[in-house]
Structures are given as C-alpha cells and as structure tokens.
Structure 1
Amino acid sequence: MTAPSLARVPCTIVTGFLGSGKTTLIRHMLENAGGRRLAVIVNEFGDVGIDGEILKGCGVEACAEEDIVELANGCLCCTVADDFVPALDKILARAPDHILIETSGLALPKPLVQAFQWPAVKSRVTVDGVVAVVDGPALAEGRVASDHDALDAQRAADASLDHEDPVEEVFDDQIACADLVVISKGDLIDGAAAEAAGARIAAHLPRAVKVITVTQGKVDPAALLGLGLAVEDEIDARRTHHDDEEDHDHDDFDSFVVPLPEIADPADLAGRVARAAEAVDVLRVKGFAAVAGKPMRLLVQGVGPRVSHHFDRPWGAGEARRGALVVIGLKGFDRTAVEQAILG
C-alpha cells in the first residue's frame, strides 16, 4: 500500500525542444517561489553542465546550489533506472516542498513519468504536472526548431522519407504528454504569429490542454505548480510515437564542446556563432565565455542563427576564467567547420 498523496513530494516535469526556453522558465520560478522550497534535477545533453550552471547562478534562497542536481550522462528518459532514482534520493534528502525536473531537449517525457509508477518511487513522489515549453518564433514559421531548413531539405531530397523526421516525433511526444503548453519568446512574435504558433500546437494536441504565451519565462509559478494531477496514474493512456518500441535512442543528434580562449568582443563572438549555425546543421549552442577586462562571466545561448548573450555573474575568486560552448546538431554535422567558424 502506498503512502497517501499528501505525504508525497510533487514533481513538475518541464520538457521542450532545444532552445525552447525551459531553463529561463525554471529560473523565473526559482526567483518567484512564493515561500516554497524548490529543488531541481537538470538533465543535460553534452559534457558541460550549462543549464545547471545557469540555475545555480540564481542565488535565491528558495533553491540553494545543493538543491540542484545535474545529470549529464545521457538522456534521462533512456537512463532513468541508473540515474534518476539516485538523483531523486539525493534531492529528497534535502526535504523540498516541490521538485522541478528539466529534461534534455531530446528527451521523451513518457518513460520518465512511467518511472513514477515504480513502488519505491510512487510511495515518495508524484508527478504534479508535465509542462511543455515550445519556441514561439519557430512555430510561427512552421518549424519546431529555429534551424529546420536542413531537415526540410533532407526530406525533400529523399523520396523514401514518407514519415515524420525525428525532431517532429520528439516534439509530438512532448506535446502528447503535456498538461500545460507554454509558448516562449512572446516578445518576438506579433498577434498573427502567435495565432500561427497556437494553431501549430493545436494540430498536435491529442486532448484539451491549456496553452499560454510568455516572455522571458515570466509566468506566475502558481499557474505551473500545485496542479495535483498525479500524471503517473494516467500516463499510459497518453499515446506517443514510441509506445510500441522497447527502447529508443537519439542517434540523429550529436554534440561536442568548443573550448573558448578569452575574448575581446561579445558581439563579435555572437556573430561568429550565428554564422556557424547558418552554415552547418547546428540546432543549439550554449555556454560561457571570459571577456578580457571584465569581472563578469558571459552567458552565450544560440538557437539556430538567433544568438543572445549577457553577463550572468562574477567569476569566482579561485575560478579559472575558461570559456566553453556546447554545440548540438544533426548527426554527422561538420564539427571542424563549426569550430573554425566559432574560433575565427
């Protein structure tokens, strides 16, 4: 017999494609916790824990650095038995009021939610809700990612491709499991574009789900937390592309790290990253850089050719001023060309 639901810690799973705005949304929740003690499990794709570093830089009392656990060893939905349960044990030892789980951009939420059905897990935690974050500007243009041109060209050139590409399938599965869909980057789309993005989502939604549009991740946490849905009890009924597969992988994607020497001009670096993304099948770039003469660390994030940067926190007294960018793209993309374009 499991413990009553009130004794279990609620977990919100935040899913979404690469660069959709998940980390920005979670950071806003941490900064506006409303008295809740929050903890976060971050699942990265790549060797450098960029999203975890961004969240740890919040410096808010509601979520100390010890309340953030990073899992950078593969997709959480694929390694749930090996990685998720130990991470959950570590988090629960901190006695949080609510747990946020940020999946990698390639993760399928359903296998993760199903892990909450395990007796050892279900007795302690419950899935409060699944939030899918989607890229508003990309959807308005008919794409689920900013740099979808390469995928469209590949499909058009191969007459044998009569099925949806892997990126679309990941998007479909995330939407199929969502209890709330958040359209991000609302400041970058006008009314007509927002309507187009909403229509694209509606075409993928298998049931009635609320859809909201946000800017800079700014949404009242009360709209995201405390839904009390116990999603693990009904997740098996949410049909996805991978329901009939025993396992899945993400062999259509690859990532590597570009070490960055100290730079002189953030705008110049952003321009080089944007040109690299346009020239090669790059979906996402994120990382940090050290700027000569500046005591602050520069955060760099790119989604296709859209690149943003800002100083997020001071470098620590004993911290090496080393920069690094994680580059995520389609399997087989030209790493050398990307590295040369970024480093100049």
Structure 2
Amino acid sequence: MPAKIPATIVTGFLGAGKTTLIRHMLQNANGKRIALIINEFGDLGVDGESLRGCGDATCSDDDIMELSNGCICCTVAEDFVPTMEKLLARATPPDHIVIETSGLALPQPLVRAFNWPGLATRLTVDGVVTVVDGQAVSEGRFAHDEAAVDRQRAADDTLDHETPLSELFDDQIACADMIVVNKSDLLGEEAAEALRHRLGEAARPGVQVLRTAMGALPVEVLLGRNTAAETDLEARHEVHHHHHHDDDDDHHDDDDHDHHHHDHGHDAFESFVVERGEIADPKAFAETVAEVIRAHDILRLKGFAAVSGKPMRLAVQAVGPRVDTWFDRAAGPDRATRLVVIGQSGLDRAAISTALSA
C-alpha cells in the first residue's frame, strides 16, 4: 500500500501570521510539491491571492485550493472531504498538503475528519501548528484586532459554534504539536520568554514552543513531524465542548513524551552536520540521540548511521525528543554516519558533535 500523504494543519487567529509563515515555507520548499487548502471566506480570498504571488513553482494555481463555503470545521462533510478527495484523485498527488484554517476554526473536528472512510487509508495529519500573535497575547488579547475577528465571525453564515475567543484559543493550544510565537521580535527578551514558557505550560507534553519573526521557520522543522494526530484525538480533546458534532472517537493517548521547550531567546535558526564512524548498538545510539536533543534544545535531527556488522544503513529521524530509527537500504562503501542537526541559533556545536560521536 502506498505511504499516506502527510498533511499539516496551520491554525491561529486572524493576523497571527499564518499566511506569512506559509509563504516563507513555499519560498523555501526545496522542490517539495506542496498543495495548499485555504479556508478563506468573506473578503475576496485575500490569503489565496497573496500566496499565489509567492513566485515559486510549488504554489501554482493548480496547487492552491480555496474553501469559500465557511468555517472549515463546520463544513467538513460538505466542503473539506470532497476537496481532499479531488486532490487525491490527481494523476500526480502532492508530496505534502498544508491546510490553513480560518482563525475561527476548531482544529479538533478537522483532525477527526482524517478518519473518514476514503481518507483514513490515504492521508495522515503530520502535525498541527498553532500560530500565536506574541505581542497581542502578551498584552492580554488573542489577536491584534479582535474587532476584525468578530467581523470575520459575523460574515460566516455557516458557523455553528458561538465560541468565545478565549475558548477557541485554548482549543488551538490543546490540539497543537507546535506553537509558533510569531512577532516575538516586537517584545522585549523577558516578556518573550515569559510568554513562551506560559504557553508551554498550557500545552500537552512534548509540544514544541518556538519564537519567530515574520514566520521564518525552517521547512525541515515545520514539516515532517509524523505525529499521526488523527490517532491520538483523546490527547487533543476540546477544552470546551461547544461544537454541534457527536464525538464517538475512542482513541488512546499514546503521547508520553517529556515537555520539550527551548530555553533560549534566539529567533534565528541554524543547522550543521555531524559525521562519525560506525555505531555498535542502534538502540543505545537512539537513546544517546534523545539525551543530546534534550540537553541542547535541538528541534530536529535526521540522517543515517552505519551499524557494525550490518549491511543495511540505519535511518534516524528525530522530532524533539522522539527518535525513530529503521533500516532502509544498503550502507555506502565508506560506512559513515552522517547526521543533520537543526535548532535555533546558539547551539553548542562542539558539545553536540562530541556527544554524538562518543
């Protein structure tokens, strides 16, 4: 059976910076074919038009699909599922799907929709990314212009949940795999760190909380998280049950990761490569990688390792403290181990290299 196509859900209130984050992603897609589904209604599809102007082959008109029939979580059966089926029917399916919700959409019903017949065997939720307006939230608001959010609410005739912004915000945080504190450059260092820690405490265990400016997040950090969010809906339960849908899902909570928040105040990102010889014990090496990630606030780590006595190379993929390994194909003649480390600026490269080479 072909591998499921991963989909990333980007949520957050109007003005938080979702479109800016997605534009940056498209401009740095590195050849990955990305399809966009944009939940725009009311104002003449502003988001769709701005994204179509990104000047990259990965966001051609054919790859941007706009849902204009109202709030995506309220029109799952009528609008979202048929759109996904149409996308899957293409002769050349996308490598990745990115869904930008309106700020009024509850993320949980959308994640739940990936269990629908016809979608469940072909799609998976790679991750839920919640974008927060750092300046607004630090000042006690949920959006830069809350009046504009209310106008957005009034413009949508299909909206079937009258949810206070505070409750919508709680649900967006509860469902997130990553929280992006955008516009953090507009805050002082102390305020930015205080907000990041506060959001981290409100999130589920294992959720990464990152500071950004202008949505500049590396594609390798944003995509490829492999969370299969549709399989752990219980862990992402709505904080406030306010939607007119029955919830008969009986999924288990398999997220037992430690909190992984990043104790530094840098907004830029960096990556570097660690090379070493063969490893002796894949399980022990994976444990070492997890320990190094925790100790140095590494966001992503990926690469391949040569294992002593094994003809196959070991693929290594880590998102936060979760490390996955598997044997994928024959190791090269040089029997080398090569790992790419990605994190926010200020990584102790020497210490990380030494620890991974031990």
Choose 94-103 or 233-242, whichever is displaced more. 233-242
Q: 8 Å contact 2:196–2:210 — kept in the other structure?
A: no
- Aligned residue for 2:73, secondary structure, equals coil
Tell me the TM-score normalised to structure 1 length.
Answer: 0.63
Q: Which residue of 2 is the match for residue 237 of structure 1?
A: 235
1:189-200 equivalence runs, <5 A: 189-200=187-198
Structure 1 residue 224 and structure 2 residue 203: aligned? no
> Following TM superposition, by how much is the alpha carbon of 1:40 offset from its aligned partner in structure 2, in angstroms?
0.2
Structure 1 residue 70 and structure 2 residue 71: aligned? no
2:24 to 24, 28, 34: 28
- Tell me the number of residue pairs that the alignment of Structure 1 and Structure 2 aligns: 232
Structure 1 residue 12 and structure 2 residue 8: aligned? yes
Q: 8 Å contact 1:139–1:196 — kept in the other structure?
A: no
> Following TM superposition, by how much is the alpha carbon of 1:101 offset from its aligned partner in structure 2, in angstroms?
0.2
Q: 8 Å contact 1:11–1:127 — kept in the other structure?
A: yes
Counterpart CA distance in 2 for 1:113 and 1:122 is 11
Counterpart CA distance in 1 for 2:129 and 2:144 is 20
Compare CA radii of gyration and give the structure with the larger one. 2
Q: 8 Å contact 1:36–1:97 — kept in the other structure?
A: yes
Q: Which residue of 1 is the match for residue 173 of structure 2?
A: 175
- Aligned residue for 1:100, secondary structure, equals strand
Structure 1 residue 88 and structure 2 residue 90: aligned? no
Counterpart CA distance in 1 for 2:110 and 2:27 is 26
Q: 8 Å contact 1:142–1:200 — kept in the other structure?
A: no
Q: 8 Å contact 2:29–2:219 — kept in the other structure?
A: yes
- 1:66-102: CA deviation from partner (whole Å, max 9, x where unpaired): 1000012110001011111221123231511000000
- Return the letter of the residue paired with 1:114: R
Q: 8 Å contact 1:8–1:124 — kept in the other structure?
A: yes
Of the two structures, which has the highest relative contact order with CA contacts closer than 8 Å and spacing of 6 or more? 1
Structure 2's unaligned 5+ residue stretches are 150-162, 247-358
- 1:20-70: CA deviation from partner (whole Å, max 9, x where unpaired): 000000011111002211010000142411111111111201221110000
2:97 to 79, 96, 99: 99
1:141 to 125, 139, 142: 139
Q: Which residue of 1 is the match for residue 116 of structure 2?
A: 118
Counterpart CA distance in 2 for 1:230 and 1:97 is 16
- Aligned residue for 1:110, secondary structure, equals helix
Counterpart CA distance in 2 for 1:150 and 1:124 is 37
> Following TM superposition, by how much is the alpha carbon of 1:186 offset from its aligned partner in structure 2, in angstroms?
2.3
Percent identity, aligned pairs only? 55
Structure 1 residue 187 and structure 2 residue 180: aligned? no
Structure 1's unaligned 5+ residue stretches are 152-164, 249-344
Counterpart CA distance in 1 for 2:223 and 2:94 is 13
Tell me the TM-score normalised to structure 2 length.
Answer: 0.61
- Return the letter of the residue paired with 1:128: D
> Following TM superposition, by how much is the alpha carbon of 1:129 offset from its aligned partner in structure 2, in angstroms?
0.4
